[in-house]
Amino acid sequence: MTKSAPLRNRVTELLGVDYPIVQAPMGWIARSQLASAVSNAGALGIIETSSGELEAVRLEIAKMRELTDKPFGVNVAQMFVRDPSIVDFVVEQGVRFVTTSAGDPRQYTSTLKAAGLTVFHVVPTLSAALKAVEAGVDGLVVEGGEGGGFKNPRDVSTMVLLPLVRSKVNVPIIAAGGVCDGVSMAAAFALGAEGVQMGTRMVSALESPVHENWKNAIVSGAETDTVFLNRLSRPGLRALRTERTTRLEREENVSLAEMSRIQDLYFGGDLESSIALTGQVMGRIEGIKTVADIVEETIVVYRETIAALSASI
C-alpha cells in the first residue's frame, strides 16, 4: 500500500510522527511487539506501565530501540506505579513523550518537563483538564466514557467532553474513546482534537499479542456488548460483556482483585477468568487487520470524509 502524505499539526510536531494516531497504553498489551508496529506505521506506539512490572517494561523499551527507529512514548499510570523512580527511569531510557494518567497531574509534570519530555495528561472531565493545564502539561488526552479501560464513574461521551474541553483550553488535544477509523477521526477533529488514540482497535490488530479468543470477541461483538463496572465506586471500568462481568455489573464495589488473572484472559484466552477492558467501538470492528493497514486506512478515510463534507456545505 502506498503511504499517505503526512498530516501536519501541533500533535504531529510534538510527537515527531507522520500521522496523529496514538496507540493506547493497555496494561501488558502495549509492549514492543504492538508498539513498534504502530511506530513503524508512522503513528505513535506507547509502552505501558500499568502492569506495574517495571523490569519487564525496561526490557520492552530496550527492545523498542531494536524494532524501530521511529519515536515512541511511555504511559505513566500513576495509580499503579507509585514508585517515584518511574520518572527517572523514563528519563534515563531517553523517551521523549509521556502520557500520565490516573493521578494528580501535579505529581510528575514539572519533573518530566524539566527533563525535556513532552507530557500529555489523560483527563475524563473538564475540571481534570483545567487542573492538568494549570500543572503545565503540553497537551491532553481527552477520554470519552465509551472507551474501554479505567474510567471516571461519571462517564461523559466524547461528543460532549471533547468540544467542551476544546472550548476552555488552548493546548493540543488527543481524542480517546470511540475512535477506530477515519470517520471517527474526522468527527474528533471537528470536535477540536488534533490527534486520536485507539485502544480496542489496536488490541484487535494482527500484531497485538492478545489471545485470538479476545480478538474474535471484539470482531463478532455488538456495540452494546460492553459493561460499565463500579458506577458508584472507583475505579470505573468499561469491559467486554461476559457471564462474569454481567454478574459484576450488579455489584456496588468491584475489587481490582477480580482482575488478578488478567493474563489468563489476555494471553490464555479464558474470557471468564478476569475482566477484558474493551470499548464500545468493538461493535464497529469487523476484522483483524495489520497496524499498517489500520493507520493507512484511517488517514485515507479521514481525508475522504472531510473532502466529502467540504463539498456539501
Where do the H-state alpha helices sit in the chain? 10-15, 32-40, 54-67, 85-92, 109-114, 126-134, 158-166, 182-190, 200-203, 212-220, 243-248, 262-266, 291-312
Q: Nearer to a second copy by C-beta: 223 or 272?
A: 223
Q: Nearer to a second copy by C-beta: 105 or 178?
A: 178
Instruction: Name the nearest CA neighbour of 77 among 39, 44, 30.
Output: 30
Measure the CA–CA gap between 118 and 136, rounded to whole angstroms: 11
- Closest distance of CB 241 from a second copy, Å: 9
Q: Nearer to a second copy by C-beta: 20 or 45?
A: 20
Our measurement of the distance from residue 15's CA atom to the centroid of its chain's CA atoms, rounded to an integer in Å, reads 15
Catalog residues that contact a second copy under the rule CB under 8 A.
7, 9, 125-127, 144-146, 152, 154, 156-161, 163-164, 166-167, 177-179, 181, 183-184, 186-192, 222-224, 231-232, 249-250, 279-281, 283-284, 302-303, 305-307, 309-310, 312-313
| Beta-bridge partners for 77 | 101
- DSSP label at 82? -
3-state secondary structure at position 16: coil
- Closest distance of CB 76 from a second copy, Å: 25
- Closest distance of CB 162 from a second copy, Å: 8
Q: Nearer to a second copy by C-beta: 7 or 37?
A: 7
Q: Nearer to a second copy by C-beta: 33 or 125?
A: 125
The C-alpha torsion from 61 through 66 and 67 to 72, rounded to 10°, is 40
- Closest distance of CB 194 from a second copy, Å: 9
- Closest distance of CB 83 from a second copy, Å: 31
